[in-house]
Structure 1
Amino acid sequence: MAEPPSNAAPRGRLTTAQAADLLGVKTETLYAYVSRRLLTSQRTPGGRASTFDAAEVEKLARRTKGEHGGVITGAGGRAFSFRTSITLIEHDRLWFRGVDAIELARAHVYEEVADWLWTGELRPGLRFAPPDALVDAARNAVGALPHSAGMLDRLRAAAIAAAAADPLRFEFDEHAVIDTARNLIGTLVEALPCAAEPDFPDTLAGRLWSRLTARTPDESSIAALNGALVLLADHDLAVSTLSARVAASSRAHPYAVVSAALGALDGPLHGAASGLAHRMLAEVVERGSAAPVVAAYLRAGPVLPGIGHRVYQSEDPRATALFEFLERVPAAADALAAAREVCAVAARHATQPANVDLALAVLSVGARMPADAGETIFAVARIAGWIAHSIEEYAEAPLRLRLAARYAGPRPPQPMP
């Protein structure tokens, strides 16, 4: 949200821009802190701008940046850091093992890129063919869920059931973990109920499409879905990936690692963000105009679904690439035009460009998928990254991620309650 021309704050308070700068975050992240009650804000008299208590912002800044120079301290006082060879985000570009992720999305199917993240080798023609025992167990678990269960609920149930059906799940040899990952990803897709018979059954993207919509796809549609899967395969230490590494640190098996990450994914500030963008974009398409829809969302809160990302200064490169894929999909034309209009209207209120959630919404709205389809695509795609990070964590000392809390309660001894 832009500050008014007179952006001075009362004594002891900070403007939105000053608070965001002190915390080193973007405006929408600042207001996410407010929604999570990590900060409080006050409206300026007679205006739309907000101010923040300077002492409160400084305290949060110390917490988020750490009080030991950015070094995280574990139990026993040992410092640790995450070293990874998987993903680099630099200068608003995304690289997988040093290779441009967008170029990988244009040239390879998801299965090949997943294996690249795990092994550093690209094997053309690789496909995931899960064993029948895992698929049967996963389908039985999914079939027992109530009709109201969402697709992420089904993925979580399928992962747990597949683990129970795999007696070798505690093998932590790298090759065994990779075999497990291939089987698990294929199993989760096969466990989702079919909306139609697959028209492109030879790739994971083709099989997943038939679980998300009954609309008949063309090659450009499958290419767009495959592109989304590749572009979402990893994104450094997002919260779900951190959860995966913590689980792997305790030597949880790969199924449990994925289950932990799926739990962290299920939130409006992470994987579920695409569902919010889907609903907004569907409303824009239905009403034929973005302005009243954007105005209604901004009236409800400062964060607009699908707009802005704390990692990127310009447009999310994954969104840019996925928009390019979608330009070749005739059925996505109306949704794509609506997304462009949303970006244009939003630009009047904030400088933040589109993120990948808005591009996912174009795919899901254009293909008549349900609102949680984007979250499902995100989850299936990100398993590749979760497993890649777990392989790295399995090579570290176990339980190194046992953090030491800083106690802030009443000092003992206290009277018995």
Structure 2
Amino acid sequence: MSGLDDVIAAETTLSEVDGLNGRLVICGRRLDELAGKTSYEGVLALLYADLLGEDEKTIRTRLGQARLRAFHHVAHIDSDLLALSLTEGLRALMARLPDGEDKSTALLLTAAPAVFLPALIRRKAGEDAIAPDATRNHAADMLAMLNATPASAAAVLALETYLVTVADHGLNASTFAARVVASTRAGYTSSVLAALGALKGPLHGGAPGPVLDMLDAIGAPDKAGGWLASELAKGERLMGFGHRIYRVRDPRADALKGALQRLGAAGGMNAGRLALAEAVEREALALLRFAKPGRTLETNVEFFTALLLEALGFPREAFTGIFATGRVGGWIAHAHEQIAKGRLIRPQSIYVGPKAA
């Protein structure tokens, strides 16, 4: 099957993924204009222009209030829910939220992952969940709820850069799932749950963790070339390299590499870990150009995502949920756009089974 490659399924004003030139545009703004320079609330002001029509400062206030509302649902975390994976636990808590197509529902859904994920991480570790502080910005409050102490300015900027970088990315699998469900008028919560189900799959949102497994297996910069060459000889995929759409370097990789370097300069990550990652990236790109000369396989967003989230103290099992924390803004914006401007999504299929008698 083609996977619907090159099929146009929607018109959008939200984001443009230019795979040939390695550009990501969010609501008319290039990623390099936003990442590390704009807050997550600022990007929501762009994505939610038609939905909320509010500025960054107002969204920050309303999002803080929504985090307080979301925290009430943390009381429902029980042993059965804790037995689930973090992604499944997040999905279960999100399913408790009311459905609708109103602004209040949209804000609650946007706020909830940043509250639920730290609570699940802490409760799984046998610790109490930390209540939100509505006066903080979204990234700062998420880190404070994770660590029970205010985060450094460098850590907040790093997480904020990540959330901005992954906020929207065209009609990817989870966003398409959200638009399909929204087209039925099922509501924003149903749309977000469908998107989260799609994101759970390892071919979409589940790949950053294995990047760290690869770095752990290599261990030292001088071992990178031999280990990577051995994996390629066995036909294994090098995690963190190549992308379905980008035919040049993924611009999100550069945004997150810059965030990592700033975090490292501020003493927020292990210098040896960053040196190992840079050696692995350098060796992998050289080997891929030699082994697969007919393909362009560059560093993708997953490579530096893994390092950044690890440096911020998130466990590997949480990476998909943190992705959802940023991408939920795009999901809801696309759901709103589909409801406002689209029709029921109902593609055709071609029957290739046995003929009836």
Same structural fold, with TM-score higher than 0.5 when normalized by the shorter chain = yes
Instruction: Write the mapping of 1:69-108 to structure 2, written as runs, cut at 5 A.
Output: 81-90=9-18, 91-108=21-38
Partner-residue secondary structure (3-state), 1:272: coil
Deviations 1:360-387 (A, max 9, x none): 1111233343112332221111111111
- What 5-or-longer segments of structure 2 have no aligned partner? 123-128, 290-296
What is residue 239 of structure 1 aligned with on the other side?
173
What is residue 306 of structure 2 aligned with on the other side?
361
Distance 1:272 1:356, change over 3 A: same
Whole-angstrom CA distance in 2 between matches of 1:381 and 1:334: 28
Deviations 1:170-190 (A, max 9, x none): 3x3xxx2x4322212222322
What is residue 280 of structure 2 aligned with on the other side?
342
Between 200-209 and 377-386, report the one with greater CA deviation: 200-209
Q: Which amino acid aligns with 2:90?
A: L
Between 230-239 and 325-334, report the one with greater CA deviation: 325-334
RMSD between superposed Cα atoms in Å: 2.8
Partner-residue secondary structure (3-state), 2:170: coil
The answer on whether the counterparts of 1:251 and 1:398 sit within 8 Å (CA) in structure 2 is: no
Instruction: Write the mapping of 1:253-402 to structure 2, written as runs, cut at 5 A.
Output: 253-285=187-219, 289-295=223-229, 297-299=231-233, 301-329=235-263, 330-332=267-269, 333-351=271-289, 352-399=297-344, 401-402=345-346
- What 5-or-longer segments of structure 1 have no aligned partner? 1-59, 73-80, 164-168
Distance 1:370 1:292, change over 3 A: farther
Distance 1:348 1:104, change over 3 A: closer
Distance 1:65 1:117, change over 3 A: closer
Partner-residue secondary structure (3-state), 1:161: coil
Whole-angstrom CA distance in 1 between matches of 2:350 and 2:131: 53
Q: Which one has the bigger helix percentage?
A: 2
Whole-angstrom CA distance in 1 between matches of 2:258 and 2:72: 38
Confirm or deny that 1:180 pairs with 2:112: no
Distance 1:408 1:180, change over 3 A: same
Deviation at 1:295, TM superposition (A): 4.1
Between 357-366 and 221-230, report the one with greater CA deviation: 357-366
Whole-angstrom CA distance in 2 between matches of 1:131 and 1:223: 20
Q: Which amino acid aligns with 1:410?
A: P
The answer on whether the counterparts of 1:306 and 1:355 sit within 8 Å (CA) in structure 2 is: yes
Deviations 1:305-326 (A, max 9, x none): 1112232233211110111111
The answer on whether the counterparts of 1:248 and 1:257 sit within 8 Å (CA) in structure 2 is: yes
Identical-residue share of aligned pairs (%): 32
Q: What is the TM-score normalised by the length of structure 2?
A: 0.82
Whole-angstrom CA distance in 1 between matches of 2:146 and 2:231: 27
Q: Which amino acid aligns with 2:55?
A: R
The answer on whether the counterparts of 2:130 and 2:146 sit within 8 Å (CA) in structure 1 is: no
The answer on whether the counterparts of 1:134 and 1:187 sit within 8 Å (CA) in structure 2 is: yes
Distance 1:116 1:349, change over 3 A: same
Partner-residue secondary structure (3-state), 1:270: coil
Whole-angstrom CA distance in 1 between matches of 2:191 and 2:179: 8
Larger RCO: Structure 1 or Structure 2 (Cα < 8 Å, ≥ 6 residues apart)? Answer: 2
Confirm or deny that 1:406 pairs with 2:347: no
Partner-residue secondary structure (3-state), 1:184: helix
Distance 1:403 1:144, change over 3 A: farther
Q: What is the TM-score normalised by the length of structure 1?
A: 0.71
Distance 1:71 1:318, change over 3 A: closer
